[in-house]
Amino acid sequence: MAKFDRTIWIVLDSVGIGPLPDAADYGDTGRTTLGHIAEYRSLEIPTLVELGLANIAPLKSLLPAAAPKASYGKGATHSPGKDTTTGHWEMAGVWLDQAFPVYPHGFPPEIIEPFEKQIGRETLGNKPASGTEILKELGEEHVRTGKPIVYTSGDSVFQIATHESVIPVPELYRMCEIARKLLDGKHRVGRVIARPFLGTTGHFTRTSRRHDYAVDPPKPMLMDVLAERKIPIFGIGKIRDIYNGRGLGDYVTTKSNTDGMEKLTEALRQRQSGLIFCNLVDFDMLYGHRKDLEGFARSLEEFDAQLAPYLKLLGQTDLLIITADHGCDPDPRWESTDHSREYVPILAYTPTQKNGANLGTRTSLADMGQTIAQNFATAIPHGTSFLPALS
């Protein structure tokens, strides 16, 4: 029998907690997402502190808990890279031999030219950019010319933005499918993303009909082995897109972190067993890449305020794991708006544990997936379980 009938896994997208030893290889020496936010101003996150967040690494103005309510530690990414797909895949037990490609200078002619030929249109952009800034810069020209906007980021992504009244969403999806087929071999990016938007010049806004076309993860990973044992898996946010829906019995998308927390709360009411797996993306999408320290700090405080009542809903056979997939340090002293190569925090909470254990530094994010796998009497290819410490 499972030690915990139900596991809730929450990924705070981009909430890193200090540079990894190889951060210099990525140009990330000294980048620390939580560290620099805490230096920027005092954080009011009492629930996370009580769980043990400040016990993982020094955070200015936040005192470590004398008796953390959760087991706590930090995880290193074993695979090369610092993107969403790499982090989430490793959590599920997949180690990569090489990082997914990124394009700091835009996509080469060998990609753009056949893409334009197959979609029958020229493109705009073809450079790294913030999703909102690229709309400010090129949205009006797109509406005027009908040329789709192609852009990337520090992540391994090929993004296509089109106005829904200029290029219908099904046509945008068709373009993404063309791009997904082209982007293979050495150009096998982690995700192709459809980014539809609406509005007028100066007021363009992205709509909820975003769709990701991810690379299919190798087998077996966590969702595969759980599905084999008939363990129900419910995805919230972009979890379905990251894993191409593998093993998920059901899923919902989200509009914001708050919407994600509401759907996590509803999931507790409706699902009595299995894995509930959620990604909260606002930290990354709205604040990390935009170098918005204040917005990031406020978003952490909002999550903390929503977390407190959520903990009270957990039952005696529930396990909650809170972590991240990488960093995205918003400190403006670093020019880069890319993700940062950082440790991620690990907080593992269950109402039955009186004193949280120090989980130390985990050498792979797969340790979390292995813990969940072991709980459900199975295993994934990589990672060392810390399930025995959760008692």
CA-nearest of 6, 5, 20, 30 to 324 is 20
CA-nearest of 94, 85, 265 to 192 is 85
Q: What is the per-residue pLDDT across 343-378, written as a single tens digit (0 to 9) for each?
A: 999 999 999 998 899 999 999 999 999 999 999 999
Residue with the bigger pLDDT between 391 and 67: it is: 67
Q: What is the per-residue pLDDT across 93-133, written as a single tens digit (0 to 9) for each?
A: 999 999 999 998 999 999 999 999 999 999 999 999 888 88
> Domains of the chain, with CATH numbers?
6-98+218-389 (3.40.720.10), 109-214 (3.30.70.1250)
pLDDT at 1: 61
Q: Look at residue 2 and tell me whether its pLDDT is greater than 80.
A: no
DSSP 3-state of 113:
helix
Between CA 102 and CA 98 the distance in angstroms is 12
pLDDT at 141: 98
Between CA 266 and CA 290 the distance in angstroms is 31
Which percentage of the chain shows pLDDT scores above 90? 91
Prediction pTM value: 0.92
Between CA 344 and CA 17 the distance in angstroms is 6
Between CA 121 and CA 326 the distance in angstroms is 36
Q: Look at residue 273 and tell me whether its pLDDT is greater than 70.
A: yes
Q: What is the per-residue pLDDT across 288-298, written as a single tens digit (0 to 9) for each?
A: 988 999 999 99
Full 3-state SS string of 300-364: HHHHHHHHHHHHHHCCCCEEEEEECCCECCCCCCCCCCCCECECEEEEEECCCCCCCCEEEEECC
Q: Look at residue 337 and tell me whether its pLDDT is greater than 90.
A: no
Q: Look at residue 154 and tell me whether its pLDDT is greater than 80.
A: no
pLDDT at 228: 97
pLDDT at 226: 98
Phi and psi torsions of 243, nearest 5°: -105, 15
Residue 284: burial class (beta carbons within 10 Å; 0-12, 13-18, 19+): buried
What pLDDT band is residue 20 in, cutting at 50, 70 and 90?
very high
> Residue written as tokens 């989980």?
359
Residues 386 and 239: beta-carbon distance below 8 Å: no
Q: What is the per-residue pLDDT across 34-46, written as a single tens digit (0 to 9) for each?
A: 999 999 999 999 9
Which whole-number Å values give the CA distances from 292 to 59, 100, 287, in the listed order?
Answer: 18, 26, 5
Pairing of strands 149-152, 157-163: antiparallel
Between CA 174 and CA 155 the distance in angstroms is 22
Average pLDDT over residues 5-28: 97
Q: Look at residue 155 and tell me whether its pLDDT is greater than 90.
A: no
Q: Look at residue 387 and tell me whether its pLDDT is greater than 80.
A: yes
List all residues 6 or more positions away from 111 whose beta carbon is below 8 Å from its beta carbon.
182, 183, 187
pLDDT at 334: 87
Q: What is the per-residue pLDDT across 73-90, written as a single tens digit (0 to 9) for each?
A: 999 999 999 999 999 999
Residues 28 and 342: beta-carbon distance below 8 Å: yes
CB neighbour burial string for 223-251, b if at least 16 within 10 angstroms, e if fewer:
bbbbbeeebbbbbbbbbbbbbeebbbbeb
Average pLDDT over residues 67-75: 98
Full 3-state SS string of 202-263: CCCEECCCCEEEECCCCCCCHHHHHHHCCCCEEEECCHHHHCCCCCCCEEECCCCHHHHHHH
Between CA 347 and CA 47 the distance in angstroms is 12
pLDDT at 375: 97
CB neighbour burial string for 321-347, b if at least 16 within 10 angstroms, e if fewer:
bbbbbbbbbbbeebebbbbbbbbbbbb
For the chain, give the mean pLDDT: 96
